[in-house]
Amino acid sequence: MAGHSARHQVAAASSTTTEDGAPVVVRRSSRRTRTVAAFWENGTAVVAIPARFTAAQEAEWVHKMVAKLQRQGERRAAVGKRRPATDAALAEQAAQLSAKYLGGRAVPTSVRWVSNQNSRWGSATPAEGTIRLSDKLRPMPQWVIDYVLLHELAHLLVAAHNAAFWQLLEAYPETQRAKAFLEGVSFATGRGMADPDAD
């Protein structure tokens, strides 16, 4: 964060995420003449700048405004407002899926929505029993969310993507459809995210 050389500012502008991993989007507006604004929008840091700004001005202001957003902690507040208590609902859904398809053997210690996971739909840490789902899944159909949740639950039992792992997902009737759905989304958005938690 330190340093204000031109070189540093260029580097800051080319980075597409904030320090804690949220995507940064720059919006140029011809209606905007002098003012710069920054705000959180669905977990993305948006910096609105005048259309006439040079690349150097853009870099300088993105750097400044993203730092300001992080200081204000607006993201945390916005996320809290947007989905009250839904981590609890997600944990409840996980318990139901585990009971229905995994004989209740997968027992996560925590299941959370996260907004800083941009390259994966979900992730699990088997050693800790924790599961995180990207909030980019939230607008998707429930059967897709359930697939990712079940996929991460299954990782608590089998860490690798091997035959034993995929066998755990066979009972869920929407596995193939959900995989195809996510592949379609990944293709359309240009994110290489075929598997929910592939690197």
List contacts with Zn ion (CB under 5 A): 197
Shortest distance, CB of residue 195 to Zn ion, whole angstroms? 6
Taking the C-alpha atoms of residue 30 and residue 126, their distance in angstroms, rounded to an integer, is 50
Which of 29-38's residues contact partners 24+ apart within 8 Å by CB, and which partners?
Answer: 36/61, 36/65, 37/65, 38/65, 38/66, 38/68, 38/69
Shortest distance, CB of residue 118 to Zn ion, whole angstroms? 17
Nearer to Zn ion, 26 or 193 (CB): 193
Which of helix, strand or coil describes residue 40?
strand
Residue nearest to Zn ion (CB): 197
In the block, which residue shows the tokens 């996929």?
A: 151
Shortest distance, CB of residue 80 to Zn ion, whole angstroms? 28
Tell me how far apart the 2 most distant CA atoms of the chain are, in Å: 61
Which of helix, strand or coil describes residue 23?
strand
C-beta of residue 116 within 8 angstroms of C-beta of residue 21: yes
Shortest distance, CB of residue 130 to Zn ion, whole angstroms? 14
Taking the C-alpha atoms of residue 159 and residue 126, their distance in angstroms, rounded to an integer, is 7
Taking the C-alpha atoms of residue 44 and residue 79, their distance in angstroms, rounded to an integer, is 11
Nearer to Zn ion, 146 or 197 (CB): 197
Shortest distance, CB of residue 95 to Zn ion, whole angstroms? 20
Shortest distance, CB of residue 101 to Zn ion, whole angstroms? 15
Nearer to Zn ion, 58 or 197 (CB): 197
